[in-house]
């Protein structure tokens, strides 16, 4: 009779179906969109993977996490530990930047299952002579799988197990020597492999921890009214390094168009000396692969990048894929732009706003493939000049498929590159950009100001799947954004927002001189600066009274000295009450720990920049396995003072005019 049995389709093409594979592997975490996108970690991080692993019955399972650099033939393996309730976990230290793969494998350990049964029968006083012979068969199979030295050892044990239930046989069967030798010869023929090979993107160290400073090079001439140069900016590098910044972000440094150039404060008509917006890229002097002639030569730019690197600072460039009407591409590749019925090219607009000095690129061009290559090559050009970090302007207005392709292409050759998405847009778009390859993302931090808003937002960023692929980069201001919290804001207000950004997120930045000088005057009716550097050359007095350079320097030093602040996701908010059961809304506290638990930081910030606020803070001693009555010391790294705390509840008070924050380093009993 012809069999009607049809084998089920294999879950993985490289693993034909075999019904003897009994282990189930499910709910692997982290896993982004079924493995469609990579999980992200930074060089030196520890990658932890969990999974539900079980089988029918009560047989013993062995599981391991497999991982390798993509393209390698061999896998490395880390044994998984059973956490309880069929949940298993393993971890490994990630390597150099690049794309890695990981998956899970598990199998039935028939030998260990047999040993467990043998113990139970002995405990029950049953005869185990036959069981020892069964065990001998399992050991003999193990000897066939084992390396030469272990094979001889296992054959010796086979002899012991076949002579009956002697004391020597029982001691051998239950001893660690036999068990260890059998573990070195596992029976993986019927192992279950998880049905997906998952991706892991490892980025350079600054992906996990970085401190950004933004400035406009054209504003740094020592001669008032003169256009600054790369040579002028080189003189600023020691000061920026001393303040603790390790990424210097420059807005576009390219030639600026003349046609429809904007004047001061975004005036529609520019004056004869107005430099224009540096985001209106392109003129007769070149486009995206040229430098503005008044900034200097390409050789001087490369020297600037080298000098910054020598001082521990990475130069980040702004990449804005848009053009002025004078950009060479408009003439050379008119098919990359949209043309209106009257024969004029379509300029950027967001009705009723019109940006006639900027032309958007048409990503629906029939010549899209050559367009993509040209845009990719802009990145390659600047990478060849020594730049490895890019802040990309408005990436959410370009195709997601384009970004996935272009960022992937770049990382194939340059895995240590980083990309910051300047996308203040809807959450799902920001998430997709992060999945598609962006290293960092701007966030809604600027618009989260109350205690509840900040706690809810940090919980979303750190306690959901977002933490596995979207790295927030907190900025209290940008050249485009002077939030109403800072408009007319006091010096303590600027310190408050800086401390929050620097201690809530491991990656943070600021639009430099404007922030440290507490510039707080908006353009009337807008969320922007008056006399914005986007449209004019400014002169900055960095020693102006009231600046917060010393406070910024201190906070950045604290970040570098305390690993707990060099990660974002391990954060616990603490309770602060005015009185029992009544929450203090104007004081916010949170605990961060280093991965090894040796460094514990408690930050407390007042959200009131005018009045002294106090409250009773409950420190979660149970998180550290300590009784609620434990005594311990806390050192305020901002003031240098040390306090003795008694138990979980302690009183704190902040006067914003003295210092609106505590950054406590805790000395907890081990």
Domain residue extents for the chain: 24-109+191-202, 129-183, 213-481+506-511, 566-667
> What is the percent of the chain where pLDDT is above 70?
98
| Stretch 622-629: mean pLDDT | 95
Contact yes or no for 589/653 (Cβ under 8 A): no
| pLDDT of 548 higher than 60 | yes
Superfamily of domain 566-667: Golgi alpha-mannosidase II (2.60.40.1180)
Query: Among candidates 326, 319, 12, 330, which has minimal Cα distance to 196?
Result: 12
Considering only CA atoms, give the Rg of the chain.
31
For the chain, give the mean pLDDT: 96
Cβ neighbours of residue 35 under 8 Å, at least 6 residues apart? Answer: 196, 197, 198, 199
| Stretch 631-658: mean pLDDT | 98
Core vs surface per residue 632-650: b (16+ CB within 10 A) or e: bebbbbbeeeeeebeebee
Confidence of residue 5 (pLDDT cuts 50, 70, 90): low
pTM: 0.94
Residue 568: C-alpha distances to residues 316, 469, 565, 595 (Å): 22, 12, 7, 11
| Stretch 162-175: mean pLDDT | 89
pLDDT of residue 352: 83
Query: Among candidates 484, 549, 557, 479, which has minimal Cα distance to 516?
Result: 549
Q: What is the pLDDT of residues 414-452, one digit of tens each?
A: 999 999 999 999 999 999 999 999 999 999 999 999 999
The 3-state DSSP class for residue 316 equals: strand
Core vs surface per residue 82-95: b (16+ CB within 10 A) or e: eeeeebbbbebebe
pLDDT of residue 375: 99
Q: What is the pLDDT of residues 584-595, one digit of tens each?
A: 999 999 999 999
Q: What is the pLDDT of residues 80-133, one digit of tens each?
A: 999 999 999 999 999 999 999 999 999 999 999 999 999 999 999 999 999 999
Between helix 148-161 and helix 176-183 the angle, nearest 10°, is 130
Dist. CA 386–CA 315, nearest whole Å? 9
The shares of helix, strand and coil residues in the chain, as percent rounded to the nearest 5, are 30, 25, 40
- Retrieve residue 148's tokens: 């030469």
pLDDT of residue 573: 99
Gap between the terminal Cα atoms of the chain: 72
Confidence of residue 1 (pLDDT cuts 50, 70, 90): very low
| Stretch 520-546: mean pLDDT | 97
Dist. CA 518–CA 544, nearest whole Å? 10
Superfamily of domain 213-481+506-511: Glycosidases (3.20.20.80)
Q: What is the pLDDT of residues 270-328, one digit of tens each?
A: 999 999 999 999 999 999 999 999 999 999 999 999 999 999 999 999 999 999 999 99
Contact yes or no for 633/602 (Cβ under 8 A): no
| Stretch 338-342: mean pLDDT | 97
| Stretch 167-175: mean pLDDT | 92
Dist. CA 217–CA 211, nearest whole Å? 19
| pLDDT of 535 higher than 80 | yes
- Retrieve residue 642's tokens: 């040390």
Superfamily of domain 24-109+191-202: Immunoglobulins (2.60.40.10)
Contact yes or no for 154/146 (Cβ under 8 A): yes
CATH topology match: 24-109+191-202 vs 566-667: yes
- Retrieve residue 655's tokens: 């006067």
Q: Which of 13-17, 67-71, 453-457 has the lowest mean pLDDT?
A: 13-17
Dist. CA 139–CA 160, nearest whole Å? 11
Dist. CA 513–CA 532, nearest whole Å? 12
Confidence of residue 225 (pLDDT cuts 50, 70, 90): confident
Whether the link from the prior residue into 352 is cis, omega within 30° of 0, is: yes
Residues acting as catalytic residues: 393, 422
Core vs surface per residue 475-508: b (16+ CB within 10 A) or e: bbbbbebbbebbbebbbbbbbbbbbbbbbbbbbb
pLDDT of residue 7: 53
Backbone angles phi, psi at 15, to 5 degrees: -135, 95
Query: Among candidates 616, 623, 654, 618, which has minimal Cα distance to 636?
Result: 654
Contact yes or no for 632/667 (Cβ under 8 A): yes
């Amino acid at each position: 009779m012809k069999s009607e049995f049809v084998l089920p389709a294999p879950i993985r093409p490289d693993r034909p179906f075999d019904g003897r594979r009994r282990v189930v592997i499910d709910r692997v975490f982290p896993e982004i969109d079924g493995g469609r996108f990579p999980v992200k970690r930074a060089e030196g991080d520890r990658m932890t993977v969990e999974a539900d692993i079980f089988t029918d019955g009560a047989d013993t399972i062995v599981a391991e996490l497999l991982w390798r650099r993509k393209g390698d033939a061999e896998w490395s393996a880390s044994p998984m530990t059973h956490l309880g309730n069929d949940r298993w976990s393993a971890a490994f230290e990630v390597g150099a930047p690049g794309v890695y793969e990981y998956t899970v494998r598990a199998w039935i350990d028939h030998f260990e299952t047999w040993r467990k049964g043998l113990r139970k029968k002995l405990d029950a006083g049953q005869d185990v002579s036959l069981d020892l012979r069964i065990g001998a068969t399992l050991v003999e199979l193990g000897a066939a799988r084992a390396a030469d030295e272990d094979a001889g050892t296992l054959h010796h044990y086979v002899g012991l197990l076949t002579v009956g239930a002697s004391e020597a046989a029982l001691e051998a069967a239950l001893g660690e020597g036999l068990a260890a030798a059998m573990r070195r010869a596992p029976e993986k023929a019927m192992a279950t492999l998880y049905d997906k090979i998952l991706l892991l993107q490892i980025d350079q160290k600054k992906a996990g921890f970085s401190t950004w400073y933004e400035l406009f090079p054209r504003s740094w001439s020592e001669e008032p009214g003169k256009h600054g140069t790369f040579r002028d900016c080189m003189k600023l590098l020691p000061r920026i390094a001393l303040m603790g910044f390790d990424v210097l972000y420059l807005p576009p440094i390219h030639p600026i168009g003349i046609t429809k150039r904007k004047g001061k404060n975004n005036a529609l008509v520019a004056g004869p000396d107005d430099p224009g917006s540096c985001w209106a890229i392109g003129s007769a002097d070149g486009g995206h692969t040229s430098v503005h002639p008044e900034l200097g030569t390409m050789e001087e730019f490369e020297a600037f990048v080298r000098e910054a690197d020598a001082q521990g600072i990475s130069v980040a460039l702004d990449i804005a894929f848009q053009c002025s009407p004078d950009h060479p591409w408009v003439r050379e590749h008119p098919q990359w732009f949209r043309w209106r019925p009257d024969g004029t090219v379509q300029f950027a607009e967001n009705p009723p706003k019109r940006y006639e000095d900027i032309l958007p690129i048409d990503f629906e061009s029939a010549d899209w493939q050559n367009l993509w290559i040209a845009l990719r090559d802009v990145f390659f050009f600047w990478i060849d000049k020594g730049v490895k970090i890019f802040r990309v302007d408005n990436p959410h207005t370009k195709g997601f498929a384009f970004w996935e392709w272009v960022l992937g292409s770049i990382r194939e050759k340059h895995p240590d590159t980083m990309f910051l998405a300047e996308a203040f847009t809807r959450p799902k778009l920001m998430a997709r950009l992060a999945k598609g390859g962006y290293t960092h993302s701007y966030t809604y931090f600027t618009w989260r100001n109350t205690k509840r808003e900040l706690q809810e937002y940090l919980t979303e960023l750190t306690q959901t799947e977002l933490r596995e692929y979207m790295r927030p980069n907190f900025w209290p201001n940008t050249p485009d954004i002077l939030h109403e919290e800072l408009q007319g804001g006091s010096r303590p207000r600027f310190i408050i927002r800086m401390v929050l950004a620097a201690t809530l997120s491991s990656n943070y930045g600021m639009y430099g001189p404007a922030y440290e000088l507490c510039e707080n005057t908006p353009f009337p009716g807008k969320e922007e600066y008056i006399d914005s550097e986007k449209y004019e050359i400014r002169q900055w007095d960095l020693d102006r009274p009231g600046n917060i350079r010393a406070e910024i320097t201190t906070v950045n030093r604290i970040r570098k000295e305390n690993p707990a602040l060099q990660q974002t996701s391990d954060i616990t908010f603490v309770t602060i009450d005015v009185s029992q059961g009544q929450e203090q809304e104007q004081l916010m506290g949170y605990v961060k720990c280093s991965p090894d638990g040796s460094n514990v930081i408690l930050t407390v910030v007042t959200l009131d920049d005018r009045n002294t606020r106090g409250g009773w803070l409950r420190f979660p001693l149970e998180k550290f396995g300590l009784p609620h009555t434990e005594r311990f010391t806390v050192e305020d790294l901002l003031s240098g003072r040390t306090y003795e705390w008694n138990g979980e509840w302690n009183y704190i008070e902040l006067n914003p005019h003295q210092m609106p924050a505590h950054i406590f380093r805790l000395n907890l009993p081990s």
